[in-house]
């Protein structure tokens, strides 16, 4: 087992990794930017090294400084968290060449699935159905038009180097295809430094259902069921649940097997997630694979009774899949709400700043993964996620109502947060019925149909 | 005061600091000078006699009372690595207290991943203090030198 791990991330996931390390008796080294000097994870780590100025490009993305810190700290392994360098094959490679274990898949497997277009061909090769689309990169607008005519409108133009809901443009007819094609390429070049794009049929009102893969270094690959992440605002997940109210046991088995098959075919190791789109006829299509731990790994942990981050570390240390993980079966229902420093009454505008008072809910079946605390200043340089609240219930409705109860106690002042928005969602009829797709939230928001809950009674501050 | 005297006094202060001395007194040719280290931030002013037996006054890491009060500029580390005062173990240090530096004067080396990086002063003045310790790790933003 490792003796010391460097956490190359920040915020709630850095805290999450530190907790797992502490439980495994592993010493922790946190690297942080100047904006994160007061961050909770820095204070809880055994050691910490400042690696740069606030902007991510000058700190959390600086591979040389992170490796320098790893060398000084004499660490055995690096956990990349999610985002930042977590899916950067070059970083994984650098770790490999420095003989420091990268807690995740090999750089080769990461590369294979990181190119979203290449991943589609791997899926096809593994016999997994992909969204109808181009056979590869689309070079010209004529080619795009031909393909679009063949698969039918509407179409999605996606960046091969993209992912996570970024670098996508839709086109509903031929006249709009031309401009969408060029603007997608331009944006891809700007955002990812790579203008390669491919085409996919735009599936109307899909459900986003992803499967959790766990694979050890001894060739064993399993899945731990699915998460339904269809509640999204502008392609960003805000609420996730496990299991999906949509899946039948038969569909779960089919999709799970497809996910395992694909992961095996690229020699995947450690944890990863295979994302599918499910259309209104319950047909599923491979969309992309995320070669890292995900934000919403928490609900799988609650339902399948395991610690996925500890399992990541065990796998990276060469241990075989833990028996309790290999045998895990789903029990109960879990929901996660992502609490962001955003103002839901003001178009979800980001609201960084000082948290004057912070009280998180508790009680049976309530889990909080957060680095926030009273007096903490949310910096403006990074994503706006300040907390994840997870509720577990015997049934889906129990979990939803428990979330409602818990959100009513969640008291954060000084900044605006999305707590009232989530409270409104827990009351929303379509959500409670399990009757939603990835378009629901944007529709509700633009129709002004979300009544934000009134603030809770004032607690003593 | 004669600038030459000021230079000598600064040198004495540095020697005091280097050798952990708390009081220095000199008298010669109608000139008398006494330098005394100020009270430390820790409550060791009244040290228990037993503990302080070998020393006249408890030594502290506090800087000696400075004669001048000009705020010092700081040279901070632009990277993460190991700080070295000289190019190699047998070479003399790039700079010492009292050395005049210009913006492009190399003041130290920070070694990162086996690469020796020459660090420039980026400011002009006289080295007042060597803050970082030789062959010890430094992080981004850590103070290496103070410059007057």
- CATH classification number, A4-103, choose in 3.40.50.20, 3.40.50.300, 3.40.50.720, 3.40.50.80: 3.40.50.20
Poorest-pLDDT segment among A62-76, A264-278, B62-76:
B62-76
Q: Determine which of A71-85, A116-130, A131-145, B8-22 has the lowest per-residue pLDDT on average.
A: B8-22
The Cα–Cα gap between A305 and A407 comes to 24
The ipTM (two decimal places) reads 0.79
**pLDDT average, residue stretch B77-92:** 95
Q: Which of B80, B82, B113 sits opposite A51 (nearest CB)?
A: B80
Q: Which of residues 80-119 of B touch A (CB under 8 A)?
A: 80-82, 112-113
Q: What region, left, alpha or beta, does residue A282 occupy, with left being phi > 0 and alpha being psi -120 to 50 degrees? A: left
Mean pLDDT score, A84-89? 96
With a pLDDT cut of 70, the percent of chain B lying above it is 72
Higher local confidence (pLDDT), A3 or B50: A3
Residue B129 lies in a domain: yes
Q: Which residue among A34, A53, A68 places its CB closest to the CB of B113?
A: A68
Say whether pLDDT at B131 is over 90: yes
The runs of H, that is alpha helices, within A168-248 are 174-192
**A292 among known catalytic residues:** yes
CB contact under 8 A, A72 and B141: no
B47: pLDDT strictly greater than 60: no
**pLDDT digit string (tens) for A96-118?**
999 999 999 999 999 999 888 89
* Confidence label for B34 from pLDDT (cuts 50, 70 and 90): confident
CB A252 within 8 A of CB A193: no
Assign A151 to helix, strand or coil. Answer: helix
- The mean pLDDT of B107-112, rounded to a whole number, is 95
Interval A315-361: pLDDT, tens: 999 999 999 999 999 999 999 999 999 999 999 999 999 999 999 99
The residue count for chain B: 148
Mutate to test the interface with B, among A47, A63, A71 (most CBs of B within 10 A): A71
How many Cβ atoms are within 10 Å of A332's Cβ, its own excluded?
A: 18
| pLDDT of A373 over the 70 cut | yes
DSSP conformation class of A34: G
Is B66 inside a domain boundary?
A: no
Mean pLDDT of the residues in chain A: 94
pLDDT of residue B17: 79
Contacts of B137 in chain A (CB under 8 A): 49, 72
The closest CB to that of A68, out of B81, B141, B142, belongs to B81
In CATH, the architecture of A207-446 is 2-Layer Sandwich (3.30)
Q: How far is CA A408 from CA A359, A375, A400, A428, B134, in A?
A: 11, 21, 13, 16, 55
| Intervals of CATH 3.30.1490.20 along chain A | 132-201
Alpha-carbon distance of A118 to A315, in angstroms, equals 26
Domain count, chain B: 2
pLDDT of residue B68: 57
Give me the mean pLDDT over the B75-96 stretch: 95
- pLDDT at residue B54 greater than cutoff 70: no
A98 interaction partners in chain B (CB closer than 8 Å): 113
- Are residues A330 and A303 in contact, defined by beta-carbon separation less than 8 angstroms? yes
Domain-located, residue B138: yes
Q: What is the mean pLDDT of residues B76-95?
A: 95
Give, in words, the CATH class of A132-201. alpha beta
User: Of A157, A119, A109, A115, whose CA–CA distance to A286 is shortest?
Assistant: A119
In the structure, what pLDDT confidence band is assigned to residue B20 with cuts at 50, 70 and 90? confident
**CA separation for the pair A295, A82 (Å, rounded):** 7
Single out the residue of A264, A281, A283 nearest to residue A272, CA to CA: A264
Q: Given this model, what pLDDT does residue A162 score?
A: 80
Whether A53 contacts chain B with CB within 8 A: yes
CB contact under 8 A, B112 and A64: yes
Domain with CATH 3.30.470.20 in chain A: 207-446
Query: Is B56 a residue whose pLDDT tops 60?
Result: no
Cross-chain residue pair B142–A50, CB shorter than 8 Å: yes
Q: pLDDT > 70: what percent of chain A?
A: 98
Choose the catalytic residue: A16, A292, A338, A402: A292
Query: Residue B133's domain spans which residues?
Result: 73-147
Helix A396-407 and helix A419-427: axis angle, to 10°?
A: 140
Q: How far is B119 from chain A (nearest CA, A)?
A: 15
A200 exposed, middle or buried (CB, 10 Å; 0-12, 13-18, 19+)? buried
Q: Are A263 and A215 in contact (CB under 8 A)?
A: yes
- In this structure, the answer to whether residues B84 and B36 fall within a common structural domain is no
Asked if the Cβ–Cβ distance from B113 to A72 is below 8 Å, we say: no
Domain CATH number, residue B136: 2.40.50.100
pLDDT band with cut points at 50, 70 and 90 for residue B26: confident
Q: B140 and B77 share a domain?
A: yes
- Residue B84 pLDDT class (50, 70, 90 cuts): very high
Contact status, residue B27 vs residue B37, Cβ threshold 8 Å = no
The per-residue pLDDT for range A242-284, each reduced to its tens digit, is: 999 999 999 999 999 999 999 999 999 999 999 999 999 999 9
First to last CA, chain B: 18
Q: Closest partner residue to B80 among A34, A68, A98, by Cβ?
A: A68
Q: Which residues does chain B have within 8 Å of residue A51's beta carbon, measured at their own beta carbons?
A: 80, 139-140
**Chain B nearest C-alpha distance from A6 (Å):** 14
d(CA A274, CA A279): 16
Looking at the structure, do residues B90 and B40 belong to the same domain, yes or no? Answer: no
Tokens of B24: 């220095």
Whether B58 is in a domain gets the answer no
């Amino acid at each position: 087992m490792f003796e010391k791990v460097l956490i190359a991330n920040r915020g709630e996931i850095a805290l999450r990794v530190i907790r797992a390390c502490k439980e495994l008796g592993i010493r922790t080294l946190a690297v942080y930017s100047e904006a994160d000097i007061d961050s909770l994870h820095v204070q809880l780590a055994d050691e910490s090294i400042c690696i740069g100025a606030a902007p991510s490009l000058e700190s959390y993305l600086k591979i040389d400084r992170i490796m320098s810190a790893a060398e000084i700290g004499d660490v055995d392994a690096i956990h990349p968290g999610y985002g930042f360098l977590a899916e950067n094959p070059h970083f994984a490679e650098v770790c490999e060449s420095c003989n420091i274990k990268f807690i995740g898949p090999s750089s080769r497997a990461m590369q294979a699935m990181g190119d979203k277009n290449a991943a589609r061909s791997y899926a096809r090769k593994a016999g997994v159905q992909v969204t109808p689309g181009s056979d590869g990169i689309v070079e010209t607008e004529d080619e795009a038009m031909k393909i679009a005519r063949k698969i039918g409108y509407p179409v999605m133009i996606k960046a091969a180097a993209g992912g996570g809901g970024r670098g996508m443009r839709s086109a509903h007819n031929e006249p709009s295809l031309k401009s969408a094609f060029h603007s997608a390429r331009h944006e891809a070049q700007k955002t990812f430094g790579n203008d390669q794009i491919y085409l996919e049929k735009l599936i109307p009102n899909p459900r986003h259902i992803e499967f959790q893969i766990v694979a050890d270094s001894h060739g064993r690959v399993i899945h731990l069921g699915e998460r339904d992440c269809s509640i999204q605002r502008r392609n960003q997940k805000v609420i996730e649940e496990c299991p999906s109210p949509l899946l039948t046991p038969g569909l779960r088995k089919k999709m799970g097997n497809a996910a395992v098959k694909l992961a095996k075919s690229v020699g995947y190791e450690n944890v990863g997630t295979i994302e599918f789109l499910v259309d209104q006829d319950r047909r599923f299509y491979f969309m992309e694979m995320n070669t890292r731990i995900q934000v919403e790994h928490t609900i799988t942990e609650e339902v399948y009774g395991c610690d996925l981050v500890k399992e990541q570390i065990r796998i990276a240390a060469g241990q075989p899949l833990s028996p309790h993980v290999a045998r895990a079966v789903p029990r109960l229902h879990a929901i996660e709400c992502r609490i962001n420093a955003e103002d839901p009454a003001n178009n979800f505008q980001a609201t960084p700043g000082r948290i004057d008072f912070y009280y998180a809910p508790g009680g049976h079946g309530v889990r909080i993964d957060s680095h926030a605390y009273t007096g903490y200043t949310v910096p403006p340089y990074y994503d706006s996620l300040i907390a994840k609240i997870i509720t577990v219930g015997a049934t889906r409705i129990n979990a939803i109502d428990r979330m409602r109860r818990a959100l009513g106690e969640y008291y954060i002042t000084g900044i605006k947060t999305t707590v009232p928005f989530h409270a409104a969602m827990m009351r929303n009829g379509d959500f409670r019925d399990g009757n939603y797709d990835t378009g629901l939230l944007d529709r509700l928001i633009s129709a002004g149909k979300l009544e934000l809950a009134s603030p809770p009674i004032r607690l003593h501050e | 005061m004669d600038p030459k005297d000021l230079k000598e006094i600064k040198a004495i202060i540095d020697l005091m600091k280097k050798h952990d001395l708390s009081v220095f007194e000199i008298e010669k040719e109608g000139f008398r000078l006494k330098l005394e280290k100020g009270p430390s931030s820790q409550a060791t002013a009244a040290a228990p006699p037993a503990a302080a037996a070998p020393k006249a006054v408890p030594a502290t890491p506090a800087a000696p009372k400075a004669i001048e009060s000009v705020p010092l500029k700081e040279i901070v580390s632009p990277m993460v690595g190991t700080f070295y005062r000289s190019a190699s173990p047998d070479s003399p240090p790039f700079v010492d207290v009292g050395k005049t530096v210009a913006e492009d004067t190399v003041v130290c080396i920070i070694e990162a991943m086996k690469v020796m990086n020459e660090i420039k002063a980026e400011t002009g003045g006289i080295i007042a203090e060597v803050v970082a310790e030789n062959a010890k790790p430094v992080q981004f933003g850590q103070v290496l030198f103070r410059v007057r």
